[in-house]
Amino acid sequence: MKVDLEQLKKPCSCGRTHDISVEEIRIESGAAALLPRWIEKKNYRKPVMVCDENTYEAAGKTVAAMLPGIGIICLDPKGLHADERAVALVAEKLTECDVLVAVGAGTVHDATRYTAHERGVPFISVPTAASVDGFVSTVAAMTWYGYKKTMPAVAPEAVFADTDIFSKAPVRLSASGFGDLLGKYTALIDWKAGHLLTGEYFCDTICGMELDAVRIVSENLDGIRTGDAYACEQLMYGLILSGLAMQMIGNSRPASGAEHHLSHLWEMEAVNTHVDAYHGEKVGVGLKIAADIYHRFADYLESSDFALSDYKGVETELLTYFADPDVKKQIEEENAVDPLADIDRAVLSCKSGELAKLLRKVPAGEEIAMLLKKAGAPAAMEDIGLSEELVPLSARLSPYVRRRLTCMRLIKLTDFVL
């Protein structure tokens, strides 16, 4: 299928006209074969492909055969992460080039989009797995010297997502992509809550578009586990749509909320040791936890126990969990402005019923767990090697990894006990 970008560029119901920089998105069987024509049309002379040894086998060699003379940067997948080291490995091998071609999943894409931004060259995306929603994003989510950061980068000018390639990816990668997609449930509610309480800009069309994609994918979960082409294609479509939503809004607000903050916290290893799990796996578990808490918080908001706390600002004593001085400094900078300062307590009191209704729109934790399991993704802390006992601390600490209003952060304005 060809994503109708022209339709999305039309003036929107939210009053804005959304910006989309990607020029072409194809999600279909044989899409990779469209790459040579694109290179020719754009008159690129020195394309360079970035891949790793696994994605070279899965798709890179096909691309190399189609484009004789293409430069190849093939990374060792062992210990490869979206961090300063991966970027340095690409930079080390990159000589002349006028376009980069990312052939891989999330890590290869993040390293490529960052490098493309630095070099001032465009890049083309050939995703080899439906594993993350960041393929068309304008920013790269990277760990930069231990701190999980959103780095400036560029969106691809074209995406050629070939079903024959990504539907054959290891099932664990597709299941992880489903976790990332399902995370929209809390991300979108966090965004809506921001709109409800502070009047923050919100786009109903984009929100609806994302929820539709999540629903369609949720109806084909057996297919994700079995690598069914249709199910994987729908998943890729949903993930790309989520990335487009970020591009259209200009930041990750429509795709990342409390569930991603939990995942980022665990990646930063402030309260835990290294977690050997994919991004979407951590997001899925984060979502299950956030969903449980949001439902309990909704009950609390409607109960006679509901009371505002004497919150006095960022809990600096909690931030000492970030032991690395550089990481701690970054966290402090992130929290120099407290998103809770925008909240009028009287408004929170008077809109607590509406907020509770919003929170209940997130499917209950058991339902989230059931969906994740059905797709073959982890659903509980133990599944990703973390202790269940870490939940309350993670929930308290994780809102501080980003300067963003989430319902998890809002809890701090009340006496609700995590």
CB of 191 to Zn ion, least distance (A): 12
- Say whether residue 214 binds Zn ion (CB under 5 A): no
CB of 248 to Zn ion, least distance (A): 7
Round to whole Å and give the CA distance between 172 and 131.
Answer: 9
Contact 185, 247 (CB under 8 A): no
What's 252-268 look like in SS3?
CCCCCCHHHHHHHHHHC
Query: Which C-beta is closer to Zn ion: that of 268 or that of 301?
Result: 268
- Say whether residue 33 binds Zn ion (CB under 5 A): no
DSSP characters over 323-349: -SHHHHHHHHHHTSS-GGGG--HHHHH
Query: Which C-beta is closer to Zn ion: that of 35 or that of 132?
Result: 132
CB of 263 to Zn ion, least distance (A): 7
Give the x-and-dash track for 132-171 against Zn ion (CB under 5 A): ----------------------------------------
CB of 22 to Zn ion, least distance (A): 17
CB of 47 to Zn ion, least distance (A): 28
- Candidate ranges 5-13, 89-97, 116-124, 292-300; the one touching Zn ion (CB under 5 A): 5-13
Query: Which C-beta is closer to Zn ion: that of 258 or that of 298?
Result: 258
Round to whole Å and give the CA distance between 82 and 61.
Answer: 23
74 phi, psi to nearest 5 deg:
-110, 115
CB of 206 to Zn ion, least distance (A): 5
CA nearest to 205, candidates 58, 55, 16: 16
- Say whether residue 203 binds Zn ion (CB under 5 A): yes
- Say whether residue 12 binds Zn ion (CB under 5 A): yes
Round to whole Å and give the CA distance between 366 and 322.
Answer: 31
CB of 54 to Zn ion, least distance (A): 21
43 phi, psi to nearest 5 deg:
60, 40
Round to whole Å and give the CA distance between 188 and 190.
Answer: 5
- Say whether residue 20 binds Zn ion (CB under 5 A): no
The Cβ of residue 177 has, within 10 Å, a number of other Cβ atoms equal to 35
- Candidate ranges 28-36, 153-161, 199-207, 394-402; the one touching Zn ion (CB under 5 A): 199-207
Round to whole Å and give the CA distance between 281 and 374.
Answer: 13
Count, residues near Zn ion per rule CB under 5 A: 5
Single out the residue of 162, 180, 233, 292 in contact with Zn ion (rule: CB under 5 A). 180
SS3 content of the chain, % helix, strand, coil (to 5): 55, 10, 35
- Say whether residue 14 binds Zn ion (CB under 5 A): yes
CB of 371 to Zn ion, least distance (A): 16
Residue with tokens 């991300």: 187
Residue with tokens 């001085």: 325
Query: Which C-beta is closer to Zn ion: that of 11 or that of 120?
Result: 11
- Say whether residue 249 binds Zn ion (CB under 5 A): no
Residues near Zn ion (CB under 5 A) are 12, 14, 180, 203, 205
